[in-house]
């Protein structure tokens, strides 16, 4: 006999409200369904009410953890529309901030993964050491979360010689810490018992379900936007893409910790190779008519931006596809065959961000205008 177990929208294992309907036979999960929309904020529609410069502030608030990479994707898309390119030094600074953010995001995820399996000591240690990279971000940008580092045509701050000593010292410490945590994740019996062989996603399924980021690379998909479709300064820097073949929760952890070490190497190389020069260029107030698309490698995977301009100061349409949206189908596949007890860590293995996923708007069939979805429409759709 099968039963449906509701997980969410409010549940201790979920950092954000989401609703999973898990069908079980005994303890075994045989099917999963989910609902989106609990964190809808109408940001895509709000783009149309702002100038291109103001749209950047909205993009930065789509996700608190990935605020920096959202602004890089946003400004580089708008720069394509404007027909301009940020100075080379600015592109290097963007890359450094993006990789610092990747380190803090992956360490945050590792702490949450430890929390989900009840390893509270490891959770506190990881988040303690993550503070060091947050300190560097605050030193460079003045902020720990929404950095406001990027602007159309360049960046808002420069990396000065007085910053280099602090950056080098913190990177050395983070490298030592990450090597230690990589050893813990691959040797501790508690972690191995809860993560090894759990939530398996094969390479075939990862490709079929259009999985992205560390979740895909943990299943053997050798793709990373930084290397394969470079942006910012990645075309001038070597990116060693980390993959695994097991496709389980432990492989997700391995890939993210190895990516943390690689991010540290990229930051060092970017600091050493960073050219002199300007950090911004002038931007026209009004943009020409046209459309532009752009993708970047956020900590969770491929992040896609699209802007349409009909000429003027405001976008006619803005579209964002976040990596979690691409990875949600993988959750269903990873949960099948698992037990109810493994739901928290398997869901956490894709590093979901439901807040940045849910920017739902609808397009009016008669006028073609996009608008905010009403609560009534959401209820009718769910029914």
Phi and psi dihedrals of 155, rounded to 5?
-130, 165
Do 186 and 244 lie in a common domain?
Answer: yes
CB neighbour list of residue 358: distance below 8 Å, 6 or more residues apart: 36, 37, 38, 39, 40, 41
Residue 320 marked in a binding site: yes
Do 14 and 154 lie in a common domain?
Answer: no
Tokens 């991010």 -> residue: 263
Do 11 and 140 lie in a common domain?
Answer: no
Write the CATH number for 342. 1.10.645.10
Cis omega (within 30 of 0) for bond into 36:
no
The residue ranking higher by pLDDT, 243 or 34, is 243
Do 134 and 279 lie in a common domain?
Answer: yes
> What digits encode the pLDDT tens for the residues 39-73?
777 888 889 999 999 999 999 988 888 899 999 99
Range of the domain at 223: 43-350
Do 86 and 147 lie in a common domain?
Answer: yes
Distance CA 296, CA 276 (A): 25
> What digits encode the pLDDT tens for the residues 110-157?
999 999 999 999 999 999 999 999 999 999 999 888 888 999 999 999
Do 210 and 291 lie in a common domain?
Answer: yes
| Helix, coil or strand: residue 200 | coil
**What's this model's pTM, rounded to 2 decimal places?**
0.90
Tokens of 186: 């691959």
**For the chain, how big is the Rg over CA atoms in Å?**
21
Do 165 and 293 lie in a common domain?
Answer: yes
pLDDT exceeds 70 at position 382: no
Phi and psi dihedrals of 130, rounded to 5?
-65, -25
Do 209 and 344 lie in a common domain?
Answer: yes
Do 7 and 89 lie in a common domain?
Answer: no
Tokens 């099948």 -> residue: 336
Do 33 and 47 lie in a common domain?
Answer: no
Residue 355 marked in a binding site: no
Tokens of 233: 């300064």
Do 258 and 342 lie in a common domain?
Answer: yes
pLDDT exceeds 60 at position 74: yes
Tell me how many degrees the CA angle 57-63-64 measures, rounded to the nearest 5: 90
DSSP 257: H
How many structural domains are present in the chain? 2
Residue 262 marked in a binding site: no
pLDDT exceeds 80 at position 263: yes
Residues of the chain with pLDDT > 90, as a percent, come to 71
Tokens of 9: 């929208």
Do 77 and 135 lie in a common domain?
Answer: yes
DSSP 187: H
Residue 353 marked in a binding site: yes
CB distance 93 to 79 below 8 Å: no
């Amino acid at each position: 006999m099968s039963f449906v177990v509701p997980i969410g929208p409010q549940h201790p294992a979920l950092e954000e409200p989401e609703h999973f309907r898990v069908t079980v036979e005994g303890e075994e999960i045989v099917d999963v369904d989910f609902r989106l929309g609990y964190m809808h904020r109408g940001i895509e529609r709000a783009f149309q009410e702002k100038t291109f410069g103001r749209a950047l502030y909205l993009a930065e608030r789509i996700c608190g953890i990935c605020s920096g990479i959202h602004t890089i994707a946003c400004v580089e898309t708008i720069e394509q529309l404007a027909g301009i390119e940020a100075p080379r030094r600015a592109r290097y600074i963007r890359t450094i901030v993006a990789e610092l953010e990747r380190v803090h995001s992956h360490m945050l995820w590792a702490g949450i993964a430890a929390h989900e399996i009840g390893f509270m000591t490891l959770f506190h240690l990881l988040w303690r050491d993550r503070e060091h990279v947050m300190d560097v971000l605050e030193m460079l940008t003045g902020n720990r979360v929404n950095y406001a580092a990027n602007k159309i045509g360049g960046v808002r701050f420069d990396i000065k010689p007085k910053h280099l000593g602090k950056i080098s010292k913190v990177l050395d410490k983070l490298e030592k810490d990450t090597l230690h945590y990589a050893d813990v994740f691959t040797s501790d019996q508690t972690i191995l018992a809860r993560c090894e062989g759990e939530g398996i996603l094969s390479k075939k399924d990862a490709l079929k379900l259009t999985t992205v980021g560390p979740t895909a690379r943990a299943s053997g998909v050798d793709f990373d936007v930084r290397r394969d479709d470079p942006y910012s300064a990645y075309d001038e820097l070597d990116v060693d893409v980390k993959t695994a073949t097991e496709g389980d929760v432990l492989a997700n952890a391995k890939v993210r910790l190895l990516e943390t070490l690689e991010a540290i190497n990229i930051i060092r190389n970017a600091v050493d190779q960073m050219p002199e020069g300007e950090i911004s260029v002038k931007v026209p107030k009004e943009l020409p008519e046209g459309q532009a698309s752009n993708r970047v490698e956020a900590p969770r995977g491929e992040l896609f931006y699209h802007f349409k301009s009909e000429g003027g100061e405001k976008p006619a349409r803005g579209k964002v596809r976040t990596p979690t949206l691409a990875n949600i189908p993988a959750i269903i596949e990873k949960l099948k065959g698992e037990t109810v007890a493994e739901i928290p860590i398997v869901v956490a293995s894709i590093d979901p961000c439901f807040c940045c996923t849910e920017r739902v708007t609808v397009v009016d069939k008669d006028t073609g205008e996009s608008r905010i979805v009403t609560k009534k429409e959401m209820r009718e759709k769910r029914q």
